[in-house]
Structure 1
Amino acid sequence: MPAGLVALALGGFGIGLTEFVIAGLLPQVGRSLAVSEAAAGWLISGYALTVAVGAIAVTAATAGLPRKPVLTGLVVLFVLGNLVSALAPNYPVMMLGRVVAALCHGSFFGIGSLVARRMVAPERASRAVAVMFAGLTVANVLGVPFGALVGERWGWRATFWAITGIGVVAVLAIAVLVPEWAGKPEAETGTAGALSGQIRAMRSRQVWLTLGATALSYGGMFGAFSYLAYTFTEVTGFSDTDVAWLLVVYGSGLVAGNLVGGRAADRNRDRALIASLTALTATLATFGLLAGSPAASVILTFLLGLFGFAPVPGLITRVTDAAHGLPLAASANVSASNVGNALGAWLGGLAISAGLGYTAPLYVGAAIVLAGLVTMLFAAYGTAGQERQ
Structure 2
Amino acid sequence: MTDLTQGEQRRETEAAWGAVLSMSLCVAMLIAAEFMPVSLLTPIARGLGATSGQTGQAISISGFFAVATSLLITTVAGRLNRKAVLIAMTALMLISLAMVAMAPSFAVLMLARALLGICVGGFWSLATSVIMRLVPATAVPRALGLMYGGQAIAAAFAAPIGSYLGEIIGWRGVFWALTPIVAVNLVWHVVALPSLPARSRQSFGAFIGLLRRGYFRRGLLAVTFSWGSAFTMFTYLRPFLEQVTGVGVEAFSLMLLGLGCAGFVGSALSGRLVGSRVERLLCLPALIMGGCTAALLLAGQSPVATGLLLFVWGAMNTAMSVIWMSWMARTVADQPEAAGGLMVAAIQASILLGALIGGLLLDVFSVTATFTGSVILAGVAVVLAGNGKRLLNPVRR
Q: Same fold (TM over 0.5)?
A: yes
Contact 1:131 1:259 in 2 (8 A): yes
Which residue of structure 2 lines up, in the alignment, with residue 86 of structure 1?
A: 101
Which residue of structure 2 lines up, in the alignment, with residue 377 of structure 1?
A: 386
CA distance in 2, matches of 1:104, 1:229: 28
Q: Report the RMSD for the aligned CA atoms in angstroms.
A: 2.1
- Residue 339 (str. 1) matches residue 349 (str. 2): yes
Q: Shift of residue 252 of structure 1?
A: 1.6
Question: Percent identity over the alignment?
Answer: 24
Scaled by the length of structure 2, the TM-score of the pair is 0.89
Question: Given the alignment, which residue of 65, 74, 86 partners 1:50?
Answer: 65
Q: Deviations along 1:337-370, whole A, 9 cap, x unmatched?
A: 1211122222222333333x32222221111111
Which residue of structure 2 lines up, in the alignment, with residue 303 of structure 1?
A: 312
Letter of the 1:198 counterpart: A
Letter of the 1:193 counterpart: R
Contact 1:198 1:326 in 2 (8 A): no
CA distance in 2, matches of 1:94, 1:258: 33
SS of alignment partner, residue 241 of structure 1: helix
Which residue of structure 2 lines up, in the alignment, with residue 349 of structure 1?
A: 359
Which residue of structure 1 lines up, in the alignment, with residue 78 of structure 2?
A: 63
Q: What does residue range 194-343 of structure 1 map to in structure 2 within 5 Å?
A: 194-195=202-203, 198-199=206-207, 201-203=209-211, 204-323=213-332, 324-343=334-353
Contact 2:223 2:324 in 1 (8 A): yes
Letter of the 1:348 counterpart: G
Which residue of structure 2 lines up, in the alignment, with residue 157 of structure 1?
A: 172
- The number of residue pairs the alignment matches comes to 380
Q: What does residue range 94-109 of structure 1 map to in structure 2 within 5 Å?
A: 94-109=109-124
Q: Shift of residue 90 of structure 1?
A: 0.9
Letter of the 1:261 counterpart: S
Which residue of structure 2 lines up, in the alignment, with residue 25 of structure 1?
A: 40
Contact 1:211 1:319 in 2 (8 A): no
CA distance in 1, matches of 2:236, 2:208: 39
Quickly say closer, same or farther: Cα 1:74–1:387, change in 2 above 3 A: closer
Q: Shift of residue 330 of structure 1?
A: 0.8
Q: Deviations along 1:288-345, whole A, 9 cap, x unmatched?
A: 1111111110000111111222121121232344432431221221221121112222
- Residue 39 (str. 1) matches residue 49 (str. 2): no
CA distance in 1, matches of 2:58, 2:393: 44
Which residue of structure 1 lines up, in the alignment, with residue 377 of structure 2?
A: 368
Letter of the 2:86 counterpart: L
CA distance in 2, matches of 1:224, 1:55: 24
Q: Deviations along 1:108-144, whole A, 9 cap, x unmatched?
A: 1221222123222211212212211211221111111
Scaled by the length of structure 1, the TM-score of the pair is 0.91
CA distance in 1, matches of 2:353, 2:72: 21
Contact 1:217 1:308 in 2 (8 A): no
Bigger Cα displacement from structure 2, 26-35 vs 126-135: 126-135
